Structure 1
Amino acid sequence: MPYEPPPHLASLTLSQIAEQVQARKLPPVDNWAPQKEGDSGMRIAADGTWFHDGSPITREAMVRAFSGLLIRDESGAHFLVSPFEKLSIEVEDAAFVATDMAVRDEDDRTALAFRLNTDELVIAGPDHPIAARGDAETPALYLGVRRGLEARLNRSTYQQLAEHALATGDDWTVSSAGESFRLKP
């Protein structure tokens, strides 16, 4: 079955975005207890490029498949998990990159939806918080994705979110799905 990416965020309503989020089927990695551990020989660069043994992985379908197997433990280490193996993977910054954002106001609620570099859609809220890190000179914004994993907002998505924050007030705070998030570190 050929892969069909979700439609562009700009063309989706909040209900359609929520349907896309629910339709994503992820492997039940939380239920797996692999006995073998090792190193995957893989790395995710700060720009979201995946590498194996120093060479970029150019097949987007492989990256999407591997991304569903990612976890991050309490110490911040990242792993690819299968029912049989738990393999470490080096992550330079965040496992994902948020590449687009849309603001939706429906039924007296605001939601901020993000597209990741793996075509996954995430709605910011209690289960997917936005966190500001760094300092005033080099701020960075991150979106909680799942299983301790995060997406760093790329420059254009950061700008989209900053413009939204300025349009709604001057305190650098945004709201989504009933939660408020401060955008200054």
Structure 2
Amino acid sequence: MPYDPPPELQDLSLADIAGLVAARKLPPVEKWTPAHQSDSHMRIAADGRWYHQGGLISRPAMVRLFASVLRREPDGRYALVTPFEQQWIEVEDAPLLAVELKSEGTGDQRRLAFRLNTDELVVAGPERPIIMRGDADEPRPYLGLWRGLEARIERAVYYDLVELALQEAGEADTSLPIWSDGTCFRLDRIEDA
């Protein structure tokens, strides 16, 4: 089955993006409890690259397939899950990356859409929060996803978020608030991991 990449993020309205997100059908991995467990011999590096037995998985379609059945367990481990088997996978940081941003609106009417390195589209909001980790000297922003997963927001995309927050906050406000889908996120507030 050929893969048709999504259209350019900048060519879509947020309403278009919301429709694409709503139409997406991920496998019901959270409902599966397979008895067989094993090691996948896979690793997701901090830079978002996927490896199997030390070799880079270079086919984007394979990465998208594996990402579609990935979940984070309550104990913090990651697994690739099918109805018949659960395979553990090492994740150095976050399993996915937010690599592109689109913003529409201002203030509490703003909506932020992100493209992930798997070409998934995500709108930040109450169920998909922007989370700040790290420390004041080296903040590490993440986007909450589904099944306990997160995407690390790449540095250039984070700088775009900060620029939007600074434009809107004004000189007197140093709290760096940014709204999306009716939720205010604070880019200056570091959360515990």
TM-score (norm 2): 0.92
> Which of 141, 162, 184 is residue 180 of structure 1 equivalent to?
184
Q: Which structure carries more strand by proportion? A: 1
Deviation at 1:173, TM superposition (A): 1.1
Give the distance between the partners of 2:42 and 2:157, measured in 1 at CA. Answer: 26
How many residues align? The count is 184
Unaligned runs of 5+ in 2: none
User: What residue in structure 2 maps to residue 86 of structure 1?
Assistant: 86
Answering whether residue 67 of structure 2 is matched by residue 63 of structure 1, we say no
Do the aligned partners of 2:109 and 2:179 also contact (CA within 8 Å) in 1?
no
| Structure 1: 4+ residue segments shifted above 2 A | none
Residue identity in the other structure for 1:151: A
Give the distance between the partners of 2:151 and 2:29, measured in 1 at CA. Answer: 19
Residue identity in the other structure for 1:162: V
Residue identity in the other structure for 1:144: G
Give the distance between the partners of 2:6 and 2:23, measured in 1 at CA. Answer: 10
User: What residue in structure 1 maps to residue 113 of structure 2?
Assistant: 113
TM-score (norm 1): 0.96
Percent of aligned pairs with the same amino acid: 53
Do the aligned partners of 1:44 and 1:95 also contact (CA within 8 Å) in 2?
yes
**Secondary structure of 2:163's aligned partner:** helix
Do the aligned partners of 1:100 and 1:114 also contact (CA within 8 Å) in 2?
yes
Give the distance between the partners of 1:135 and 1:87, measured in 2 at CA. Answer: 33
Do the aligned partners of 1:42 and 1:51 also contact (CA within 8 Å) in 2?
yes
- The one-character-per-residue Cα deviations of 1:80-117 (angstroms, maximum 9, x if unpaired) are 000011111000000100000010129x8211100000
User: What residue in structure 1 maps to residue 35 of structure 2?
Assistant: 35
- The one-character-per-residue Cα deviations of 1:4-55 (angstroms, maximum 9, x if unpaired) are 1111111111110011112222111122120101110000001100000000
Considering only aligned residues, what root-mean-square deviation do their CA atoms show, in Å? 1.3
Unaligned runs of 5+ in 1: none
**Secondary structure of 1:146's aligned partner:** coil
Residue identity in the other structure for 1:165: A
Do the aligned partners of 1:99 and 1:153 also contact (CA within 8 Å) in 2?
yes
Give the distance between the partners of 1:12 and 1:117, measured in 2 at CA. Answer: 17
Do the aligned partners of 1:6 and 1:20 also contact (CA within 8 Å) in 2?
no
Answering whether residue 17 of structure 2 is matched by residue 17 of structure 1, we say yes
Give the distance between the partners of 2:102 and 2:166, measured in 1 at CA. Answer: 15
Residue identity in the other structure for 2:52: H
Matching of residues 127-142 of structure 1 within 5 Å = 127-142=127-142
Give the distance between the partners of 2:26 and 2:130, measured in 1 at CA. Answer: 22
Answering whether residue 124 of structure 2 is matched by residue 124 of structure 1, we say yes
Give the distance between the partners of 1:41 and 1:89, measured in 2 at CA. Answer: 7
